[in-house]
Structure 1
């Protein structure tokens, strides 16, 4: 029996790894005739450290995210995904991607890019991808190769 996925979530953050995960998610969604959920989480904790908090910063980040997610949605539809949902959420990316969004939208597959964090960074701040793989209530596919199946070259130098 082949696994049939109905609701596929791909988390995007502007990174090269997330973009590759997105393109692979398009193909999986088409093969499964699934709804593709494109999610961008704005980490509100980043704004807590700003001493002179300015609501215009949140608006700027939101506007940039909206433009990006709209482009992704258009690309998915243009490439043949019949049902595409895009959403911007605010909060902690780890719990939003791993728990909240999947539960609220009956997600049965999460596709997420592998991170380029080194061991020290993972120890200090943790990896969103690692958290998602350990805590998601559904299958998680960590994208480690490019569209041609070759190991990705990290966008970080």
Structure 2
């Protein structure tokens, strides 16, 4: 039924649950599986050269910090997939996650199933801008499986 599956990962428990489901669906359907993690540009856009929270300085290159975290998430997910006998492709993207997911992974790249966790790690963005998952469900041009 599904031949090209993509799962979005942000390191949250819900995205890890989404990965488990995506692997099961990929195995059942003998489908291709792609793992995607998105570096959220809104998290580092306003960062200056000196930022502190209380007395703790934050990294000045938040983009690089997020890229490293995304790579660690993908590496762990790829190891899990390998342990389940599923080969995968991985991709790190940059941008506003909900827009990247809808524009690139439900419209342009030909995936017939997108698997996503019901909520992710970015609670502040969710409160201010709305849930990534809700946006994806409303705007996707493909089947969406929400796991959580």
TM category, shorter = 0.7 to 0.9
Listed as ranges, the gaps of 5+ residues in structure 2 are 51-58
Count of matched residue positions in the alignment of Structure 1 and Structure 2? 138
| Residues 103-122 of structure 1: pairs in structure 2 closer than 5 A | 103-115=107-119
The worse-fitting range, judged by mean Cα deviation, of 53-62 and 101-110 is 53-62
Give the direction of change, closer, same or farther, for the CA distance of 1:123–1:67 in structure 2 (3 Å limit).
closer
Structure 2 length-normalised TM:
0.83
How much does 1:116 deviate? Answer: 7.4
3-state SS of paired residue (1:52): coil
CA RMSD of aligned residues (A): 2.3
Structure 1 length-normalised TM:
0.78
3-state SS of paired residue (2:5): strand
How much does 1:15 deviate? Answer: 0.6
Listed as ranges, the gaps of 5+ residues in structure 1 are 145-157
How much does 1:75 deviate? Answer: 1.2
In the TM superposition, what whole-angstrom CA distance separates every residue of 1:65-119 from its partner, at most 9, and x where no partner exists? 21220121121122021x41111000010011122133343110011111279xx
Provide the rounded CA distance (Å) in 2 between the counterparts of 1:80 and 1:116: 26
